[in-house]
Each structure stands twice: as C-alpha cells, then as structure tokens.
Amino acid sequence: MSEPTQTVRLQRVLRSPPERVYRAFLDASAMSKWLPPHGFTGQVHEMDARVGGSYRMSFTHFGSGHTHAFGGRYLELRPHELIRYTAVFDDPNLAGEMQTTVTLRQVFCGTVMEVVQEGIPAQIPAEACYLGWQESLTLLTQLVEAEIPG
C-alpha cells in the first residue's frame, strides 16, 4: 500500500513573456537563483533539460548547513507552454515520486503560469509547500520581470 500524498496548486501572472519564464525552469544558473526558498541556497549538480533527460540539485539551509538533495526526469517539454518533471528526495524518509506540471499561457500583459505539484510526501505539511513555492515564485518573478538593458 502506498503512502498518502498531497497536491499543491499555484497560479501567477507575470509581466514577462512565456519564453523567459520557460527558460528560467531549464537553465541551471537560473534555477539555483530562484528555486531555493528563503533561508536556503541551491546548487544544480546536473541538468539535461530534454524529454527523458534528468536533473539533480540540492538545497542547503543557510542557518544549520543541513543539505537535502533531490532529482528527477523531464517527462514533457513544450517550448514556452509546458514543463512536466518528476522529483525524488534522497532522504528515504521522504519516499515516493512527485510530479510537477508548469503550464504557461501568453496573455496581453505577460504570462499566466500555473504550477501543480502532485505526490508530495505526507510528512511535508501542505502549508510548508505553499510557503516554499510562494517564496520561490517571488524570486522567479524578480528574475523574469527585470528589464535590464544589456
């Protein structure tokens, strides 16, 4: 019998074209900048951003120095429209495979982004997932909305 899991759903409207948001999910330097929630640093150890490719990264708690690593596979990539990938924690206490689907839709003011993360281990409170995603998406917004001549 499998362990119970949870799902979180988020939506944001970003003042950025879908191409820039899409790239932020598939560029290792961008991911290490925006994905770690507040209080964590991030490192991408491997990223092969193609269908069937894999990635591996870790978050380190800045205060305690404790690191947790995770990785997964890219299941579906539709440029500037859809990213679907899995994630598995290295920690055996957080067993199971999560699946995240990011949908991007261009609108007059930028991009509507919807994120659905399924299969979250029951040991992780849903509100902690929402809080972490909110913090990450704030950083993503700052990255993709910045208009810097260059």
Q: What is the pLDDT of residues 55-94, one digit of tens each?
A: 999 999 999 999 999 999 999 999 999 999 999 999 988 8
What whole-number distance in Å separates Cα of residue 98 and Cα of residue 118? 6
136, 144 in Cβ contact below 8 A? no
Domains of the chain: 5-145 (3.30.530.20)
pTM (predicted TM-score):
0.94
What whole-number distance in Å separates Cα of residue 31 and Cα of residue 12? 18
- Tell me the mean pLDDT in the region 27-49: 97
Three-state SS at 11: strand
